[in-house]
């Protein structure tokens, strides 16, 4: 089965379009009383008689307002406090996560790094050893005996606690999640797809940071989207959303999610990698809780905008129907990105290409 996305992409059969899943999910959510998902599945269409032209300035202003609403939702600490007060499990898991990561990343690791620095200086000054060699030796031992092991321990324990926090917060906010109807094979395929997609996106983020001048800026925005995606994934998983539905929802609300991920990125971006990961591990439970109660916003006028051919030489963005539209991405690519930002386009295309090649190879072998 094929599906055209951003100029044409070959979909695997096991990763087919989620239209049927979305409709089925909408019916399940209505039964469960999930107002959030019902609002997501409801699309508003402007009246055919009301054609509103939007300038780029208007669209940019609307996007900035959505970005601000994302920042505000991420910083709604009152919502996190309410969850902590309502659930002992959430409070205990959050406390454990904070204590563990604070001790590992913000207390013991700086002390050990200071000790290594002192040992290198002492060895160089008093034992007449080569400072570079000693520094490399100590740093290697530090990474092997401390850095990598404690990072793995923190990751495993924190992941377990994050899941418990998300599960209990969702039950408090929306009730017991509905059971998914997908088979084990389908869920496994979706999870493989997701892991490959995130892995490739992380690789792209790593490479982009080395681009002169603009690399750091692009890297900041990419991390904001990634942290925001992490925060909402627990919730979408419990609502049984397929990955394609998550990506579409995310990319059509890219400004909001860029804002939601901004506080976490700002708190971690300017520190060394190891310390940055520790700060993220400390803060992430808060953003899981605020994401659970958040309502990602979509500007309906911008979302349904099309490009028309006015009599003037300067094209504009019009909303509604009643005039012959021209392909938005063909005429004004940047305007198309305002409607749906291809955050996951290149990781997605590469992932699908890899999976397609693997499936074709397996088919040929069989």
**Confidence at residue 113, expressed as pLDDT on a 0 to 100 scale:** 83
Q: What residues contact residue 357 under an 8 Å CB cut-off, 6+ apart?
A: none
**Confidence at residue 335, expressed as pLDDT on a 0 to 100 scale:** 52
Q: Confidence band (pLDDT; 50, 70, 90) for 262?
A: very high
Q: Quick one: CA torsion of 134, 139, 145, 148, rounded to 10 degrees?
A: -160
Q: Give the pair of three-digit tokens for residue 290.
A: 């605020």
**Confidence at residue 9, expressed as pLDDT on a 0 to 100 scale:** 37
Instruction: Mean pLDDT check: name the lowest of 33-42, 128-137, 263-272.
Output: 33-42
Write the burial class of residue 248 (CB in 10 Å: 0-12 exposed, 13-18 middle, 19+ buried): middle
**Confidence at residue 223, expressed as pLDDT on a 0 to 100 scale:** 94
What digits encode the pLDDT tens for the residues 285-343? 999 999 999 999 877 666 655 444 344 444 444 444 444 333 333 334 445 556 778 88
What digits encode the pLDDT tens for the residues 117-170? 887 777 776 665 666 677 788 778 888 888 888 889 999 999 999 999 999 999
Average pLDDT of 244-266?
A: 93
Average pLDDT of 270-288?
A: 92
**Confidence at residue 343, expressed as pLDDT on a 0 to 100 scale:** 86
**Confidence at residue 183, expressed as pLDDT on a 0 to 100 scale:** 74
How far apart, in whole angstroms, are the C-alpha atoms of residue 297 and residue 60? 15
Q: Mean pLDDT highest for which of 46-55, 118-127, 356-365?
A: 356-365
**How many CB atoms neighbour CB 11 within 10 A?**
17
Residue among 63, 121, 79 at smallest CA distance from 255? 63
**Confidence at residue 366, expressed as pLDDT on a 0 to 100 scale:** 65
Higher local confidence (pLDDT), 351 or 160? 160
**Confidence at residue 50, expressed as pLDDT on a 0 to 100 scale:** 41
Q: What residues contact residue 289 under an 8 Å CB cut-off, 6+ apart?
A: 79, 80, 83, 84, 90, 165, 169
Q: Give the pair of three-digit tokens for residue 145.
A: 């005996």
98: pLDDT strictly greater than 80: yes
């Amino acid at each position: 089965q094929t599906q055209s996305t951003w100029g044409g992409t070959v979909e695997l059969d096991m990763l087919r379009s989620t239209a049927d899943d979305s409709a089925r999910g909408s019916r399940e959510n209505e039964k469960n009383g999930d107002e959030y998902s019902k609002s997501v599945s409801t699309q508003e269409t402007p009246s055919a008689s009301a054609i509103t032209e939007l300038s780029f300035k208007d669209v940019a202003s609307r996007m900035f307002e959505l970005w601000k609403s994302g920042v505000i939702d991420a910083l709604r600490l009152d919502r996190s406090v309410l969850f902590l007060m309502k659930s002992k499990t959430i409070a205990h898991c959050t406390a454990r996560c904070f204590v563990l990561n604070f001790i590992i990343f913000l207390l013991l690791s700086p002390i050990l790094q200071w000790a290594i620095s002192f040992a290198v200086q002492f060895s160089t000054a008093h034992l007449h050893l080569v400072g570079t060699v000693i520094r490399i030796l100590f740093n290697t031992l530090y990474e092997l005996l401390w850095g990598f092991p404690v990072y793995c321990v923190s990751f495993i324990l924190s992941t377990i606690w994050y899941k418990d926090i998300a599960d209990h917060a969702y039950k408090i906010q929306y009730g017991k999640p509905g059971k998914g109807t997908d088979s084990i094979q389908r869920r496994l395929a979706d999870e493989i797809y997701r892991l490959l997609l995130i892995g490739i996106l992380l690789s792209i983020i790593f490479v982009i940071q080395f681009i002169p001048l603009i690399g750091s800026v692009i890297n900041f925005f990419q991390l904001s989207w990634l942290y925001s995606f992490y925060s909402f994934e627990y919730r979408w998983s419990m609502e049984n959303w397929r990955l394609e539905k998550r990506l579409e929802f995310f990319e059509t609300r890219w400004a909001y999610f860029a804002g939601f991920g901004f506080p976490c990125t700002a708190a971690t971006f300017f520190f060394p990698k190891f310390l940055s990961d520790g700060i993220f591990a400390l803060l992430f439970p808060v953003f899981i809780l605020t994401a659970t109660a958040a309502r990602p916003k979509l500007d309906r006028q911008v979302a349904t905008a099309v490009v028309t051919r006015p009599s003037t030489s300067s094209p504009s963005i019009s909303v509604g129907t009643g005039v012959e539209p021209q392909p938005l991405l063909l005429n004004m690519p940047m305007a198309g990105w305002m409607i749906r930002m291809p955050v996951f386009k290149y990781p997605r295309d590469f992932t699908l290409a890899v999976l397609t090649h693997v499936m074709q190879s397996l088919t040929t072998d069989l």
